[in-house]
Amino acid sequence: MCGIAGIVLKRDRDRQFVQDTLHRLQQALEHRGPDSFGFHVEERHGFLNRRLAIVGIAGGDQPIYNEARDVGIVYNGEVYNYTELKNRYLAKGVRFYTSTDTEVVLQAYLQDGVDSFSVLEGMFAFCIWNDATGEIYLARDGFGMKPLYVYEDDKMILFASEVGAILSIPHIDKTLDPRGIRDYLAFRYIVGPYTIFRRIRRVGPGRYMRLSSAGCREYAFVDLGQCSGKVSSISYLEAQEELRRLLLESVRSHLIGEVPIALLLSGGVDSSILAGLLHQADAPMHCFNIGFPEVNEFAYSNAVAQKHGFPMHNIQIETDTIAKKFPSILGALDEPIADPAQFPLYLLCERIREYATVVLSGEGADELFGGYPQYLTHEQPLTATERLPHFLQSSHYFLDGDKYMRTVPVDGGWRRTAKYFRGDFVLGAMSNYDLSTWIPEDLMMKADKVAMRHSLEGRFPYLNKNLLEFVRSLPPSFLIGQNNAFKQILKDAFATLLPDSVLARPKMGFTVPIALVLHAFAGVYRDTLRALGGSEIADILDLDEVGGLFERFLKRGGEEPLRNWTLFVLISWIAQRSGIGTGVESLPGMSALHRQG
């Protein structure tokens, strides 16, 4: 697990500029790879890696080259089927000089070209270059678990694992993009290819990009958000058995590495199943959960940990802790994301890093197995005319975001993502939609940015291509049972691994008291809005409308807390990046404010 970055000059030849740029980029990415730093420099391009050593620690520093040293790779991620691929190439006479998965990715490309990208099972973002042919490729895994951003102007192309690294380069165009902001106001995160900056784009999940003096061109190598449409005739009992095999296989593959691994154990069904499978795989590990005194799941996580004999760490936080840590957490986001769960996640990763370098999580199970209320109308076929109304009913976003913009751009917002709502039934269409938007651009981005801020790698056993293809082949009734029972087959297949209290509990989800946080930040929020009055964002957002919504919230109590939180995070993020700051450091504790009434 690492951070990668690079530069390609379109016309000039300036080795010193390339080298100076790489130096700035690696400094900005140091938290992603504190163990080592390596680079490749030529007159018109250069590439770097900051390494967090996990697999093939000895001899695994990057870049890694072919034998002739004219083809190289910088790589961020883990390919879980690398041993299988390595054996395949060894049988063909390919020589390997390290024990890393990085070299396997490089050799796969040397043997099979860009077609090799589709056989990689895992999470990755990498750059491969060929100095003999001039080819330069970027690629990002199909689930979008690893981020990769690209900046382009008329002089150069920059890429990096984080937006902040690109922003560290002097004299680049940092103009905000109204289309990305329109996305954010609709979804509470930004859907690729846009970002909040006009000249910075994401490499899409399951996409590779070719870089040249002519610019960047993107191609697809896999589309996991495309419903297969092939329903299996497998029986329910046979399906449970196959599910047990596939998920255990995925969990075992996620244990690769030479560093300590931990488990994020909430006490919900998804993470509790992972705990049971880890016990079956004879992989005991420390487990972690976090909660507030008023709202937590400690009783459930304790029951699971006790059942399997795992050490359990329950971390209790107060709401004022989030206030005190707010600037650090906001800085870790790299881009504004309004998911409140990322704030306690930051505090949780802080503690986990004391014990481990890798943490397993149950993210993705709800999206694969039908764990959300919007999936419930799963058996109703969708005609062309019914598709859009069902999409609007099934998706959780704001339809009124445009009223907070001074000028509404043509693109951006929920309308451009309706194309991902694909499939004959709502269940499959919503799963496809979430695999194309919500998973790569919210769940995986907050997990990557927050965990890597602490040099901690997150892994997600449910996000596995073989598992996804199998689940997609099942009848909808296997997933949503009688009386709208969520994730029916997942619960039935692993019932013996779960304590009765966990199996019978209703879905909870992690709750953050955002209304309390907003009240505590009232003065800071008002000051920030005033300070931004003459800035670039004031030409894009109607700050008076934003401030009016917040004042109505303060007066009426419960009016639109999530909408206010979304705008608050955006405004605070922009203020912090503009050097205005949030003023949060001087805030009294939220509990003290609460006591004062």
Tell me the two tokens of residue 23: 């130096």
The Cα–Cα gap between 149 and 340 comes to: 24
Structure confidence at residue 585 (pLDDT): 47
pLDDT value of residue 315: 95
Residue 344 CA to residue 450 CA, distance in Å, equals 10
Can you give the C-alpha Rg of the chain in angstroms?
24
pLDDT at 169 over 90: yes
Residues spanned by the domain of 85: 2-220
Domain count, the chain: 3
pLDDT in tens, 82-96: 999 999 999 999 999
Kindly report the CATH number assigned to the domain that includes residue 188.
3.60.20.10
Strands 207-212 and 45-51: unpaired
pLDDT band at 111 (very low <50, low <70, confident <90, very high): very high
> How is residue 158 written in tokens?
């920059």
Q: Which residues contact 469 (CB under 8 A, 6 or more apart)?
A: 228
- The predicted structure's pLDDT at residue 321: 84
Residue 505: CB atoms within 10 A of its CB come to: 17
Looking at residue 596, what is its pLDDT?
30
pLDDT in tens, 292-340: 887 789 999 999 999 999 999 999 998 788 878 888 888 888 899 998 8
Does residue 587 sit in the same domain as residue 463?
no
Residue, of 444 and 414, whose pLDDT is higher: 444
Answer yes or no: do 264 and 164 share one domain. no
* Residue 389 forms part of a structural domain: no
* The length of the chain, given as a count of residues: 597
199 and 304 within one domain: no
One domain for residues 299 and 151: no
State residue 295's pLDDT score: 79
Structural domain contains residue 408: no
Going by the DSSP 8-state scheme, the letter that residue 507 receives in this structure is P
Task: Tell me what pLDDT residue 380 has.
Answer: 66
Beta bridge partners of 505: none
Structure confidence by residue, pLDDT tens digits, 241-251: 999 999 999 99
Binned at pLDDT 50, 70 and 90, residue 549 comes out as very high
Rounded to 10 degrees, what is the CA torsion of 524, 527, 528, 530? 160
Q: Residue 592: its pLDDT value, please?
A: 31
Is residue 518 located within the same domain as residue 493? no
Establish if 170 belongs to a structural domain: yes
Query: Would you state the structure tokens that stand for residue 56, as one six-digit string?
Result: 């093939």
Output 471 or 318, whichever has higher pLDDT.
471
Q: Are residue 567 and residue 528 in the same domain, yes or no?
A: yes
Note whether residue 411 is domain-resident. no
Q: Is the pLDDT of residue 548 over 90?
A: yes
State whether 76 and 203 are in the same domain.
yes
Helix, strand or coil, per DSSP, at residue 81: coil
| Segment 421-441 mean pLDDT | 88
- Whether 544 has a pLDDT exceeding 80, the answer reads yes
Alpha helices in 395-542 (DSSP H): 426-436, 438, 444-452, 465-472, 476-479, 488-493, 500-504, 514-520, 522-531, 537-540
The answer to whether residue 380 sits within a structural domain is no
Confidence band for 508, pLDDT divided at 50, 70 and 90: low
Rounded Cα gap, residues 573 and 194, in angstroms: 17
Q: CA 280, CA 408: separation in Å to the nearest integer?
A: 54
**Sign of the alpha-carbon dihedral angle for 315, 295, 145, 230:** positive
Give per-residue pLDDT as tens, 119-160. 999 999 999 999 989 999 999 999 999 999 999 999 999 999
Q: What's the DSSP call for residue 487?
A: T
pLDDT at 228: 62
437 band by pLDDT with thresholds 50, 70 and 90: very high
Name the nearest CA neighbour of 430 among 467, 479, 492, 465: 479
> What average pLDDT is seen over the chain?
90
Residue 559: the pLDDT is: 60
pLDDT of residue 587: 39
Query: pLDDT by residue (tens digit) across 369-390?
Result: 988 888 876 566 777 777 788 7
Instruction: Quickly count: other Cβ atoms within 10 Å of residue 526's Cβ.
Output: 14
Residue that wins the pLDDT comparison between 421 and 468? 468
Residue 356 domain-assigned (yes or no): yes
Residue 381 parent element (H or E): none
Helices (H), 139-235: 163-167, 178-187
Structural tokens at position 199: 């000249």
What's the confidence (pLDDT) of residue 510? 59
pLDDT of residue 377: 64
pLDDT score of 13: 92
Among 466, 483, 504, the domain-final residue is: 504
Asked if residue 398 belongs to a domain, the reply is no
Do residue 497 and residue 575 come from a single domain?
no
DSSP 589: P
Q: Which of 195, 120, 200 is nearest to 160 (CA)?
A: 200
Strand partners, 79: 122
Q: Are residues 241 and 206 in the same domain?
A: no
Q: Of 185, 220, 255, which one is at a domain's C-terminal end?
A: 220
Q: Is 494's pLDDT higher than 60?
A: yes
Last residue of a domain, one of 175, 195, 220: 220
Same domain, 158 and 84: yes
Query: Do 463 and 322 have their domain in common?
Result: yes
Least confident of 242-251, 266-275, 505-514: 505-514
For residue 58, what pLDDT is reported? 67
Residue 229 has a pLDDT of 60
Going by the DSSP 8-state scheme, the letter that residue 492 receives in this structure is H
| CATH number reported for the structural domain that contains residue 246 in this entry | 3.40.50.620
pLDDT of 341 above 90: no
The total of other beta-carbon atoms located within 10 Å of residue 383's CB is: 9
Mean pLDDT value of segment 411-415:
84
pLDDT digits (tens, 9 = 90+) for 573-591: 999 888 775 555 443 333 3
* CA 285 and chain centroid, separation: 24
* Residue 85 covered by a domain: yes
**Alpha-carbon distance 563 to 532, whole Å?**
19
Q: Give the pLDDT confidence of 50-85 residue by residue, as tens digits.
A: 987 787 676 678 999 999 999 999 999 999 999 999
- Same-domain status, 207 and 251: no
